[in-house]
Chains A and B, each alone.
Chain A
Amino acid sequence: MITNTKKSQKKNILSLEDVSISYGTFEAVKNVFCNFKRGDITSLIGPSGCGKSTVLRALNRMNDLIPNCSLKGTVLFDGTNIYDKRVDPVEVRRRIGMVFQQPNPFPKSIYENIAFGARINGFIGDMDQLVESSLRKAAVWSECKDKLNDSGYSLSGGQQQRLCIARTIAIEPEIILMDEPCSALDPISTLKIEETMHELKKNYTIIIVTHNMQQALRVSDMTAFFNAVEYEDGDGGKVGYLAEFDSTKKIFNSPKEKTTQEYISGKFG
């Protein structure tokens, strides 16, 4: 699963250059430099409040939806700064899809859940086929095929989450962002989602936020460890920063930073 040999040939698909994100006057993350490579699965790990979810949401401009959230720096996607004033965030989100922490299917049928995104993206072609292939890729086809017209809510939590993944795949994004996709799920569903991710890796770049270090170790090629430090002025607030970014193997076996070592061995978090 760890493909260091190919790494050198892979191209950067997404680069963060000196990114700082604030909510109002409160700075959540600062000075992040990071390159995500095409075809990799990258995990973002770190203690609560280190800003890893904030960084993830910044990658497809979901932070725009949070009032007062502002970003400094550059996020380059295929050579374009997605925070450029001329960029349409809707177009960004079509090419960088997102799967959320809580399964959030639409209150529509399973079929419509998949078809909705494709339709608004101007999909012309065999919708039945697209629904089937998306559900297959998300490894939920066998559970859904006999009840495509049932509500998305009729599925179990794990199935709903895979339905949400299928929904994201159906718009054929280049990158799939996942914000702790398994935190609300049982171990068996988690395992299935991880298998799904391995399948998806062939066609998509995946960036995943996870609290579960074993999961990061199991699924990802690269791991970014975020940490939080108290402000220098010492008023008790914390600001997140990217502490270490390397191949998953190195992060877990021979981390350079002492805090990384402490975090992965469970000394804090």
Chain B
Amino acid sequence: MNSLYYQKKLSRNVGDKFFTSLSVFCAFIAILPLIFVVTYILIKGGAQINSDLFTLEPNPPGDDLDAGGINPALIGTLIITTIASIIAIPVGVGGGIYLAEYSKGGPFSKFIRFGVNVLAGVPSIIAGVFIYALIVSTKILFGSMYSGFAGGMALSILMLPTVIKTTDEGLKLVPNELRYASLGIGASMYTTILKITLPSAFRSIATGVVLGIARAAGETAPLIFTALFSYYYIVGFEDLFYEMGSLAVLIYNFALEPYDAQNKLAWAASFILVISILSVNIFSRILAAFTEKTKRV
């Protein structure tokens, strides 16, 4: 008869120990790149942070020592992401509402769901090339070619699937009883959605939107084809129709320059980009945690 006490040498217990340590080891390896990348950027980029960075234009690459600041790229990223949000949020939330509330699982909604999943997997450069062909090369937008608008449109294509999916899933989490309650007292479908289901799902939708924005803000490839880059301050509305700088493209351009000053500027821009995306992600986590807590109040 075996003893009831735990025996270390038993082969099943040895195997168990081995697999536990193996999986812990793999989990640790998986997190390493994140830790290295973030620390490296924080150290390299953090050293370059000063107040001029936020206010000055970048100087054209050359052998002068001062590279200037990244103000146009910072503002450009904000503007392009805002344009992308203005396009993607209404369309995405609207599409998500259709999928979750109106569609009855027919072929059309299956097709849309499939399409959204495919769109989520499309490489970001394809979105850039698509907008390039649609808007930049045709000069369809008031004769302008590369522009902040085109950049925003390219990024909105990348945001759309995230927004649609989170809206769809957020709405599906709302218990059906709530819908029945509202419909059962004679509310129409749209009153029910606007007044009952959307508010209940608001925070999970907001979380998805924030994550979509965070993804879009860091994209480089689509912007190279659409917004290109600019060294100059954004001063007025008409600047939206010209080339526009962005943090991601600035990093891409300046990291390849042979001059040290430009490289440092690229590090500083990386620092700011990583910090903002990280904080946006943390913000969405907090938002999600807040949702959990208040779900049943």
Residues of A within 8 A of B (CB): 60, 62, 65, 67, 90-91, 93-95, 97-100, 102, 104-107, 116-117, 120-121, 151, 153, 164, 167-168, 170-171, 173
Contacts and interface: CB of A to CB of B under 8 A. Distances in A.
A164 B181 contact: yes
Interface in B96-139: 104-105
Interface residues of B, number: 22
B185 to A, nearest CB: 4
B238 interface: no
A107 B180 contact: no
Contacts of A93: 183-186
Nearest to A99: B184
Interface of B is mostly: helix
A98 B184 contact: yes
B280 interface: no
Interface of B: 104-105, 175, 177-188, 191, 195-196, 199-200, 296-297
A94 B181 contact: no
A107 B185 contact: no
Contact of B195 (A67, A100, A116): A116
B104 A168 contact: no
B180 A117 contact: no
A23 B296 CA distance: 32
Contact of A97 (B179, B184, B188, B200): B184
Given A67-B105, A107-B297, A62 B185 contact: no
Contacts of A67: 104-105
Given A106-B178, A153-B296, A94 B185 contact: yes
A94 B182 CA distance: 11
B108 to A, nearest CB: 14
Given A104-B177, A120-B191, A94 B186 contact: yes
Name the 6 nearest CB pairs between A and B, nearest first: A94-B186, A98-B184, A104-B177, A117-B185, A104-B181, A93-B186
Contacts of A60: 184
Given A120-B188, A167-B185, A171-B186, 9 more contacts: A65-B179, A93-B184, A100-B177, A100-B181, A106-B181, A116-B185, A116-B187, A117-B185, A168-B185
Contact of A107 (B105, B188, B191, B200): B200
B186 A62 contact: no
B177 A102 contact: yes
Nearest to B174: A107
Contacts of B183: 62, 65, 90, 93
A121 B186 contact: yes
Residue from B182, B200, B296 having most chain A Cβ neighbours under 10 A: B182
A152 to B, nearest CB: 10
14 contacts: A90-B186, A97-B184, A98-B184, A98-B185, A100-B184, A102-B177, A106-B181, A107-B199, A116-B182, A120-B188, A164-B181, A168-B184, A170-B185, A173-B186
Nearest to B297: A151
A105 B181 CA distance: 8
A91 B191 CA distance: 14
Contacts of B200: 107
Residue from A93, A121, A171 having most chain B Cβ neighbours under 10 A: A93
A263 B178 CA distance: 34
A65 to B, nearest CB: 7
A168 to B, nearest CB: 6
Contact of A106 (B104, B186, B196): B196
Nearest to B175: A104
Given A67-B104, A104-B177, A151-B297, A120 B187 contact: yes
Nearest to B294: A107
B186 A97 contact: yes
Contacts of A99: 184
A153 B297 contact: yes
Contacts of A91: 186
A104 B177 CA distance: 6
A121 B178 CA distance: 18
Nearest to B191: A120
B186 to A, nearest CB: 3
B94 to A, nearest CB: 21
Contacts of A97: 184-186
Contact of B185 (A65, A151, A153, A171): A171
Contacts of A120: 185-188, 191, 195
Given A107-B200, A153-B297, A100 B186 contact: no
Contacts of A107: 178, 199-200, 296-297
B187 A100 contact: no
Contacts of A121: 186
Residue from B181, B188, B191 having most chain A Cβ neighbours under 10 A: B181
B172 to A, nearest CB: 14
Contacts of B187: 90, 116-117, 120
